[in-house]
Amino acid sequence: MSLKNGRIHIQRAFQKASKTQSAALMPYFTLGYPDPETSLAVIEAIAPYSDLLELGVPFSDPLADGPTIQRSTQIALENGTTTAVCLDIVRQLRERGVETPIMLMGYYNPVLAYGQAKYVQDAAAAGVDGFIIPDLPPEEAGELEAQAAQAGLAFIHFLAPTSSLDRIANVTNRASGFIYLVSLTGVTGARPTLSGAEATAVQSDLAAFIARVREKAAVPLAVGFGISSPEQAASVGKLADGVIVGSALINAVNQSGDKPAAAAQFVQSLQRALLQ
């Protein structure tokens, strides 16, 4: 894999997925959880069933994340997972033959502490394809966005149901790779399956939100936050170009002694749902 084709790598993943299933599948997993070796094994196990991977860099104040991911990042930090360790895990994944596009999800403070330009350079060298930084708004992202573009990597922006038309226009005009659509207000975390009129209303609101963004966007739209089951993934996959599942995967890993096997089984169930 060329070090300068991250955005192309992402684009091709979405194009390939669209030919065979309702949406691209992008699992999230925290790097270094419950320890670096296990996280490496888990990610390697789920890669064959994933169209893209969102890998989390642990941070002590993950403000966009709910209890499940907060706990995973805290344990990863306690086990010595630094930014350098995260980049080394990505490097090992590439050395083991994992070709799935990798999005590095992390907060801005560790990027600053590591050194912004060095972070981009080292991430590209490790095999990262793009960055997701939830606490860096578009108005403040210009420098890092430009450095990522120079390295051939995508910089992913967020939009939420509460985003104004001006914010939607700003993000869609500068988007690369894909746009991360937050399905609801609040933090990450698996939500229970809804039924009846409530489910219909939620689906209708999400469809309207996606339609507003799609009118302006030239890149795929991936939806995350709150997707916890194959049924929910399939439902969202009928509306969006990508489906992101994080907390539910970590929950599945937590409940099993054979964590890589449990992770692979859960991601396979999501993949099957999207293929139907």
Total residues found in the chain within this entry: 276
Name the H helices within the chain.
6-20, 36-46, 67-78, 83-95, 108-114, 116-126, 142-150, 165-174, 196-214, 230-237, 247-254, 259-275
Q: Identify the active-site residue in 54, 122, 145, 241.
A: 54
Catalytic residue flag (residue 35): no
Question: For the chain, first and last CA: distance in Å?
Answer: 31
Strands 242-245 and 24-30 come out as: parallel
Catalytic residue flag (residue 61): no
Q: Give the integer Cα–Cα distance in Å for 71 and 74.
A: 5
Q: Give the integer Cα–Cα distance in Å for 254 and 235.
A: 25
- Residue 186 burial (CB count, 10 A): 13
Q: Identify the active-site residue in 35, 37, 51, 65.
A: 65
Residues with catalytic function: 54, 65
